[in-house]
Chain A
C-alpha cells in the first residue's frame, strides 16, 4: 500500500493539473473567435497579457501543489516509525485501474473481465508487521570422522527472525530455529534501550554475553563448524543460551569504549544444570574497544560464567574467558578488502565428586577478504575436555568463502582433527547459507 499511494497521488496531481489547465485552454480557444478587425489589435494584446498573467498564476499554483504532493509522497513512503504519529487514515480500498485478464488467458477458458485486486485492505495491516527473514543453513561433509560424524548432506537449520520496535520504550527480536533436532526458540527477547542511568536491559531467552563466538548466530560465524573450545567447554554449538535478564552499561571515558554487562540466567542449558529455583547461573563481561586508525581497531574482553553442573546439586562450574579481535578494513575499499584476526581463551573449573577439573581451550582464527566476493581463512583450535582434562583435542582448518551477494554465501572448509582419545579425522565441509526477507543488522 505504501508503494501504491504515490501512484494514486500522482494520479490526483494529474487530475488537478488537467482541471486547472482546462479553463486556460478554453480561454485560449475563445480568443481567436473575437472578431479580428485591424483596430482590435491592441485588444488582442490585452487578452494576451491577461492570459500570460493567468498562466503565470497557474504555474505558481502548480508549483505549490507539486511541493505539497512531494511532501505527501515522502510522508507516505516513510519507513514505519514506532507508535509515533499514527499513520493517517487512508480510504481503505482505492483499486487502481482494473487489470484486464490477458487475451490469451481468456481464450484458454480462464476467467474473463477484470482481475480481482489483492492486497489493498490487508496491505494496510502489514505496516506494523515485524521485519521477517528466513535463513537456510545447509551443510555437507566428505571424508572420515568416527567421533562426530556429520551427515553427508543436511539442512542443518532454518532460522526465522522476527524483529520490530514494540513501543516507544522497547524493541523485540525473535529467532526461531527449525532443525533436524526439532523446533526451538533460539532467542526471543525484549530490549529496553533507554532505561535511566544509561542502562540497556534485555529480558528473555538469549545467547549469553560470554566471549565472541557464543554471542554469534551460526549464520554469521566465519566457519562452517564451531571451534573446539566452544564445543568442549561452553556447551557445544548451542553454547550458553538460556532464559534470563541482561543489563549492560557504558562506562564513559575519554580513552576507549568500555561496556560492562551482568546477566542472570535460569541455569539450565547445555553447560549448567539447575536442581532447584535458586540454582541460577551468572555471567559477567567487560568489553573494551578502541579505534587505532580509521581502518583498524582492537576489541578485547573478559568474561566469567558461574552455575551448577550435571555432576550433582553440590557441584558448580566456573568458566573464565578472554577474547581479542583485531580488524582492518580500509574505508575507501570497504567492500573489497578486510582482515579479521581473533582469538579466545577459555579456562573451565568444573567441580565433581573427585575434586575440580581444570580444562583449558583456545582458538586462533584469521579471515581475509581478497575480492568483493571472496574470503580466505584459517583457524587452529586446541581444547581439553571439561569433564576429563587429560584428553586434549586439536584441529586445524582452511576456509574459502564465496558471496554471490549479501544474501547468500557458499563456503568450503578443510578440517583435520586430532582427538585426545586417539582417532584422527580429515574432512571437507561445505556450506550454503541463504537468506530471504529483511534480517536486521548485526551488532559489531
Chain B
C-alpha cells in the first residue's frame, strides 16, 4: 500500500520539478508589441517574448480572452504600459492567471511608465464630461524615443534582477540598443529638421509624446473628446481650424474608421495618413526602430507633397 503512494509522490515530483529548469529562457509577456520589441532588444536570446495586444488593435479596447489567461499563467515577467491604458482588460486576466509571479506589486510585474516622461498629467479636477480621460497622464508615452530608452533601462534592471546570472548580457544589449537608438534619433531629427512646427490634426490623442519629441504641432483632434465619436459640428470646427491655419495632414490610427478623416481631407485638401502608433500597426513596422522610420517617412513625404510648413 505504501509503494503506490511513493510512486505517486515520485511521479508528482518528476512532473512538478522540471517545470522550472534553471537555464530556460525567461518567459516575458508584454501588454503591447511596442514593449515586446524593446524587451526583445534587451533580452536577446535569453528571453521568450509574447505580446498580448496586436499593434493594429486599439490598446484601450482589447478583449480579455481566456487564451490570454494561459499565456499569463506561464509568464515569469509581465510588462504593462501602465497609466491605466489596460484598465479595461488586463486586471481580470492577471487575477485569473493563477500566477503569483506577475501579480501587481510582485517582482515579475513591471510598469515602465513609472520611470518614463509622462505628459498631460491632469493638475486639476477631472470628470468624465471630458470624455474618456486618463487620470494618470497620457499613456501613449512610448512614442518618444527618449521613453524608449527609459523603458529599455527599466526592462534591463528587471531582467537583471530576475536573472542575475545574465545581468552583464542584458547590460551590454541595453547599451547597444541605446547606441543604435541614438544614431537613429539623429537620423530622425535630421529628417524632421525642416518641418519643425508642422501643424497636423490627429484622430485620437495618441501623438502627444511623438509631437513633443519631433516638434510637430497637433492643433486638433477628429474626436471631439477622447473616446467620443466624431460629431458633425466638431468636424466642421476642425475643418475651419485647419483651413484657417493651413493644416494639410490628418493622422489616423489604423483602428479608427476613415470616413470622417476622409471627408475632412476632401474639404481641406489635407492628406489623410494611416499612421500606426504601435509596432505591428502595419506590416511594414515589425520593430521599435521601424515604427519611427515608417511614421516619420509618411509625415515627411506628406509635408513635402503639401509644401506645408
Contacts and interface: CB of A to CB of B under 8 A. Distances in A.
A289 B65 CA distance: 9
- Interface residues of chain B: helix, strand, loop or mixed (majority): loop
Contact of A444 (B56, B61, B64, B103): B64
A291 B63 CA distance: 12
Contacts of B136: 77-79
Interface in A298-340: 299, 327, 329, 331-336
Interface stretch (A67-75, A136-144, A206-214, A390-398): A67-75
A289 B68 CA distance: 11
B122 interface: yes
A335 B121 contact: no
Interface stretch (B2-10, B20-28, B110-118, B290-298): B110-118
Interface stretch (A37-45, A108-116, A191-199, A271-279): A191-199
Contact of A199 (B67, B98, B118): B98
Contacts of B123: 3-4, 6-7
B245 to A, nearest CB: 28
B191 interface: no
A194 B121 CA distance: 34
Contacts of B84: 79
B118 A257 contact: no
Contact of A82 (B69, B104, B117): B104
Interface in A74-126: 74-75, 77-79, 81-84
Given A83-B105, A250-B73, A372-B229, A329 B63 contact: yes
B82 interface: yes
A252 B97 CA distance: 11
A421 interface: no
Nearest to A443: B92
A406 interface: yes
A335 B61 contact: yes
A441 B99 contact: no
Interface string B120-131: 011110001001
Interface string B241-259: 0000000000000111100
A260 interface: no
B169 interface: no
A77 B118 contact: yes
A257 B57 contact: no
B132 interface: yes
B67 A334 contact: no
Given A82-B104, A250-B69, A257-B67, A3 B61 contact: no
B115 A74 contact: yes
B115 A334 contact: no
A149 interface: no
A81 B105 contact: yes
B87 interface: yes
A331 B56 contact: yes
Interface centre among A74, A291, A297 (most CB of B within 10 A): A74
A335 B58 contact: yes
Given A83-B105, A193-B96, A334-B57, A441 B64 contact: yes
Contacts of A70: 115-118
Contact of B73 (A4, A77, A83, A198): A198
A249 B96 CA distance: 10
A406 B70 contact: no
Contact of B227 (A193, A334, A405): A405
A191 B96 CA distance: 10
A171 B66 contact: no
A200 B114 contact: no
A148 interface: no
B135 interface: yes
Interface in A185-223: 191, 193-195, 198-200
A30 to B, nearest CB: 35
B131 to A, nearest CB: 8
Contacts of A372: 229, 257
Nearest to A407: B128
A332 B278 CA distance: 13
Contacts of A407: 128
Contacts of A4: 123
A237 interface: no
A153 to B, nearest CB: 26
A440 B94 CA distance: 13
A191 B94 CA distance: 12
25 contacts: A3-B121, A6-B121, A73-B121, A75-B115, A77-B137, A78-B114, A78-B136, A165-B105, A168-B105, A168-B106, A193-B94, A193-B95, A193-B103, A194-B98, A249-B98, A289-B66, A290-B67, A297-B67, A327-B63, A331-B54, A331-B57, A331-B255, A334-B62, A442-B64, A443-B92
Given A77-B83, A297-B65, A297-B67, 13 more contacts: A74-B114, A168-B103, A193-B95, A198-B73, A257-B66, A290-B67, A327-B63, A329-B63, A331-B57, A372-B257, A441-B89, A441-B92, A444-B64
Interface of A: 3-4, 6-7, 70-71, 73-75, 77-79, 81-84, 165, 168, 171, 191, 193-195, 198-200, 249-250, 252, 257, 259, 289-291, 294, 297, 299, 327, 329, 331-336, 372-373, 405-407, 436, 440-444
Can you list the 6 inter-chain pairs with the closest CB atoms, starting with the nearest?
A194-B100, A84-B105, A257-B66, A289-B66, A444-B64, A82-B105
